[in-house]
């Protein structure tokens, strides 16, 4: 190789290096991998965010790390066994998970549960709503940096869980619903205890209002962050409190097909016009109070009677298909049950709320800062089991 050639090669190499440097300088985006193991992702959600400084350019949620195959599993289990499986979908409000499936099975079998059973189901559904929202109210504080509210959330939720345990035997997985009614009636003294605990819940809501929602720093962190306009929320399938916080007045307890004792109840559906993280917090705070009021109302109206209808010993659901959707704490939850007359369903399609709620993340996370990513994730309030099923 001649000297000239060597020089030429050196010059080319230098140019290439400069070009490389230029390219590197232009690539200022940093890919940050939030999750699957990250304290703010409630388990194993993974969000891949592309950052320009601390500003998110693009976000890509990756789900499925906790997929347990419940839809397939239901095809190989009998109806009583499925009840115990599906309350593990959203493990924080498991009782509410059982209700739509049991409702669908009862519709297919043409069984009407006795009114007392319906009322007790409604009470327990609202109690599970309270328990999961109390956790949210504290845990949202934790995600924006305050440690103490999380402990208050856990502390006050414990009273509600004790109630659920006293009635059903299980704190998280009640498995109390049976096709045609309930496993058993309430134990003695339960109603008085529930009234006492509802006072604790009201007090707890006041505490959260003072400690979290009323805090100026919390407002600064959440107001105007992660705004979901109502129509965009609807087009992504966002439901439940997240949608009501965007000003859409839509609650399946009132607007859907009548289920449980809700048609006989007098309650208010809370909405907030803003659609930001703060309004999602505020709506859940109000809904916790409203649920506590509903529980008191239901206790006043609780009818006497049996809790179990006449049901054959071996449950076989006649052929047919049905769709039942209910207002669960996290949003709309639905079961599409297809039966071919066997002891188990032929196919079950589960519509879980969190799955649709997080599908808005790529749209929602554009242009926010890294701390806001956490605020938005916390305020959307999803449960990983509910996303991955």
Partner 1 sequence: MAKTKTKRAFKMPGLIQGLGVTLRTMLRPTVTTQYPHEREDPPSRARGVIALKEENCTVCMLCARECPDWCIYIEGHKVKAPPRRPGGKPRTVNTLDRFDIDYALCMYCGICVEVCPFDALYWSPEYEYSTPSIADLLHDKSKLGEWMETVPAPQPLEVGAEGPSRWR
Partner 2 sequence: MTLAALPLGVEIAIKTGVILAIIPAGALILGYVFLMKMMAHMQSRLGPMDPGGFHGWYQLIGDGIKFLQKEDLMPAEADRRVFAMAPMLILLSTFLVYVVIPAGPDIIVEDLDVGIFFALAVSSISVIGVLMAGWASANKFAMLGAIRAAGQLIAYELPLVLAVVGVVIQAGTMSLQGIVAFQQNGEIFGFGGIGFPLVITQFVGFVLFLTAAQAELTQTPFDMPVAESELVAGYFVEYSGFRFLFFFMGEFGTAFALAGIAATLFLGGWSIPGVEGTLANVLGPIVLFAKVMLVSFVIFWVRFTYPRFREDQLQSLAWKFLIPISLLNILATGVFKVVF
Contacts with partner 2, residue ranges (CB under 8 A): 30, 32-33, 38-40, 54, 141-148, 151-152, 155, 211-212, 215, 217-218, 220-221, 369-374
Choose among partner 2, partner 1, none what residue 64 binds, the Cβ cut-off being 5 to 8 Å by kind.
none
The whole-angstrom separation of Cα 351 and Cα 301 is 32
Closest CA to 358 of 336, 369, 373: 373
CB of 141 to partner 2, least distance (A): 6
The whole-angstrom separation of Cα 276 and Cα 221 is 11
Would you say 42 or 116 has its CB closer to partner 1?
116
* Stretch in the footprint of partner 1 (CB under 8 A) among 19-27, 125-133, 155-163, 358-366: 155-163
Would you say 215 or 322 has its CB closer to partner 1?
215
Residue 113 corresponds to which tokens in the numbers above? Answer: 């549960």
Choose among partner 1, partner 2, none what residue 42 binds, the Cβ cut-off being 5 to 8 Å by kind.
none
81 binds partner 1 (CB under 8 A): yes
Q: Read out DSSP for 266-286?
A: -------SS-SHHHHHHHHHH
Asked if 27 and 42 touch (Cβ cutoff 8 Å), the reply is: no
Residue 285 corresponds to which tokens in the numbers above? Answer: 């705070």
Give the single-character DSSP code of 110: T
Would you say 155 or 234 has its CB closer to partner 2?
155
- Cα dist. 320→23, 71, 337 in Å? 62, 18, 8
Asked if 123 and 193 touch (Cβ cutoff 8 Å), the reply is: no
The whole-angstrom separation of Cα 186 and Cα 363 is 46
CB of 287 to partner 1, least distance (A): 14
Would you say 163 or 238 has its CB closer to partner 1?
163
The whole-angstrom separation of Cα 129 and Cα 327 is 10
CB of 221 to partner 2, least distance (A): 6
Torsions phi, psi for 326 (to 5 deg):
-135, 165
Would you say 218 or 262 has its CB closer to partner 2?
218
Would you say 211 or 343 has its CB closer to partner 2?
211
Choose among partner 1, partner 2, none what residue 173 binds, the Cβ cut-off being 5 to 8 Å by kind.
partner 1
Torsions phi, psi for 146 (to 5 deg):
-95, 125
The whole-angstrom separation of Cα 145 and Cα 289 is 25
Choose among partner 1, partner 2, none what residue 206 binds, the Cβ cut-off being 5 to 8 Å by kind.
partner 1
The whole-angstrom separation of Cα 337 and Cα 321 is 5
Residues across the chain:
389
215, 227, 247, 362: which one binds partner 1 (CB under 8 A) = 215
* Stretch in the footprint of partner 1 (CB under 8 A) among 129-137, 170-178, 238-246, 358-366: 170-178
Would you say 220 or 342 has its CB closer to partner 2?
220
188, 263, 273, 310: which one binds partner 1 (CB under 8 A) = 188
Residue numbers of the site for partner 1 (CB under 8 A)?
A: 77-78, 80-81, 84-85, 116, 148, 152, 155, 158, 162, 165-170, 173, 175, 183-191, 199, 202, 205-207, 209-212, 214-219, 289, 292-293, 296-297, 302-307
């Amino acid at each position: 190789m001649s000297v000239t050639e060597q020089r030429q090669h050196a010059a080319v190499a230098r140019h290439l290096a400069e070009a490389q440097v230029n390219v590197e300088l232009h690539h200022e985006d940093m890919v940050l991998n939030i999750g699957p193991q990250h304290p703010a992702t409630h388990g194993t959600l993974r969000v891949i965010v592309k950052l320009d400084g601390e500003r998110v350019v693009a976000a890509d949620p990756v789900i499925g790390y906790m997929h347990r195959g419940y839809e397939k599993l239901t095809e190989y289990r009998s109806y009583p066994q499925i009840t115990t499986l599906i309350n593990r979908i959203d493990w924080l409000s498991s009782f509410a998970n059982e209700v739509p499936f049991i409702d669908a099975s009862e519709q297919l079998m043409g069984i009407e549960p006795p009114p007392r059973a319906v009322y007790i189901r409604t009470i327990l559904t609202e109690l599970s709503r309270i328990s999961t929202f109390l956790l949210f109210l504290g845990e949202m504080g934790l995600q924006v940096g305050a440690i103490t509210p999380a402990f208050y959330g856990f502390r006050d939720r414990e009273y509600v869980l004790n109630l659920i345990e006293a009635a059903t035997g299980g704190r998280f997985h009640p498995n109390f619903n049976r096709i045609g009614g309930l496993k058993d009636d309430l134990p003695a003294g339960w109603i008085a205890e529930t009234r006492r605990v509802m006072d604790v819940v009201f007090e707890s809501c006041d505490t959260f209002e003072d400690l979290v929602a009323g805090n100026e720093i919390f407002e600064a962190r959440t107001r105007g962050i992660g705004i979901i306009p109502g129509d965009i929320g609807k087009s992504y399938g966002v439901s439940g409190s997240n949608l009501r916080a965007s000003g859409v007045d839509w609650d399946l307890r009132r607007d859907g097909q009548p289920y449980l004792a809700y048609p006989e109840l007098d309650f208010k559906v809370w909405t907030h016009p803003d659609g930001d993280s703060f309004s999602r917090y505020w709506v859940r705070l109000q809904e916790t109070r409203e649920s506590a009021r509903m529980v008191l109302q239901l206790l006043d109206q609780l009818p006497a009677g049996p809790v179990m209808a006449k049901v054959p010993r071996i449950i076989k659901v006649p052929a047919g298909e049905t769709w039942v959707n209910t207002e669960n704490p996290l949003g709309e939850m639905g079961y599409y049950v297809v039966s071919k007359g066997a002891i188990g369903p032929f196919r079950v399609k589960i519509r879980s709320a969190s799955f649709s709620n997080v599908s808005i993340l790529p749209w929602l996370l554009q242009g926010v800062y890294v701390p806001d990513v956490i605020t938005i994730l916390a305020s959307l309030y999803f449960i990983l089991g509910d996303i991955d099923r």
